[in-house]
A and B are shown apart, each in its own frame.
Chain A
Amino acid sequence: MLKALKLFLKGALLDQSTEKIEAKSKELNDRLLLLILSHKLGVPNPFFYHCVELLPYLSENLKGLERRILDRKSLISRLTGEIGEP
């Protein structure tokens, strides 16, 4: 019972307070990835050869990056982008 209450409070108070900050960090990582993969926007990255070394560590951001970038305007898709595909 106490455990459930603890979880409820965490969800209601803590997660809510940190989720915007977390989203900001994800957005910054997306920005980093976009700088590396600028060819996706049609701007070749002259240092791409040295940047591929970073991709294994950023792989989770790689999925759905294009969709998130393309759909920035739509709030729903942005949210689903942050939550991830079902």
Chain B
Amino acid sequence: MNLNGFKYFFLSGKGGVGKTTSSILMALYFSQRGEKTLLVSLDPAHSLGIALKAKLGELPKKVEEKLFALEVNPEKEMEKYLKKVEKEARQIVSPAFLGEVEEELKLAHSSPGALELATADAIYRIAVEGRGFDKIVFDTAPSGYTVRLVASPNSIVKWWKGLISVREEALKYEFLSNLKEKRKLKEIFREDPILKVLTKRLKEYETLKELFTGKETAFGVVFNEGLLPREIGVRTVRELEEAGAPVKFLVFNRVKNGIESLKAKNKIVIKVPEFKEEPIGIEKLKELLKLTRWEVK
């Protein structure tokens, strides 16, 4: 088994273990082999730009031959989306009802899971728009967060399907009661704006589920020498696997001995050695990559 067979890579692990450095090393590894690679930071506290010594934004920026990088700002994405909905509400909702809709929109901003869903939207968008890339490496936010993101699409797909059937049922009765209706039921379904939104979301979540559990995806967990990163890392591997995410590789960042409690069978182990200084900037990272070993257990 090697990592070349996969297209999407998600790196997880406790904060501060070296996820960003590991993702850059991985992306560099692929780009040096001639693969067009996109490196994406999903962490709200971005460190990718600092590590690469480059100013990154929402659009892919070339940082090296065949290597592109971008930083997603979930907060900003959230803001943009809610503004769009608000604008739409102002256009179609009668003033008598607008107040109630606006109140709910305000709630949405701080509703539980909003940031996670905004991140999921970004992953979906990048996966769809990033079809031109050979490899996409995601530097994700800390573990629990990633796990939830992966575990939810399964139940979410069912839930959206339920909403769709309720709306279709309502439209059916509306169709039966409206004797002047000239359109066919199928046309009504196709033109209904609510069904349009629902099926759009359903498609998004089906794609995400496929992305998170599919054959083109490899999840990896980053460890370092400390006890906490180890324990949390082991737990992350277990949680990810239980959620159906394929954990294919482990990154041991400055780890001197093996990790016994970890069944690293059938997993690629990437060993990143101690570096003489902090690996900031592409040249130093390239040097570090030369010292990094890839082992198949």
Contact = CB atoms under 8 A, between A and B. Distances in A.
A79 interface: no
Contacts of A47: 113, 117, 156, 159-160
Given A47-B113, A52-B105, A59 B94 contact: yes
B1 interface: no
Interface string B91-109: 0111011101100110110
Interface string B167-207: 10111111011110000000000000110011001000000
A32 B166 contact: yes
A28 B94 contact: no
What's the interface size class on B, roughly? 35 or more
B101 A56 contact: yes
Given A32-B163, A44-B112, A49-B114, A22 B173 contact: yes
Interface string A36-80: 110100001111111011111111101100000000000000000
Interface string B142-179: 00000000001000100110110011011111101111
A24 interface: yes
Contacts of B193: 57
Interface of B is mostly: helix
A62 B177 contact: no
What's the interface size class on A, roughly? 20 to 34
Interface of A: 14, 18-19, 21-22, 24-26, 28-29, 31-32, 35-37, 39, 44-50, 52-60, 62-63
10 contacts: A25-B174, A39-B111, A47-B156, A48-B113, A49-B113, A50-B201, A53-B197, A54-B198, A56-B92, A58-B194
Given A35-B163, A57-B194, A59-B94, 11 more contacts: A22-B173, A28-B166, A45-B111, A46-B113, A49-B117, A52-B85, A52-B104, A52-B105, A53-B197, A54-B194, A59-B93
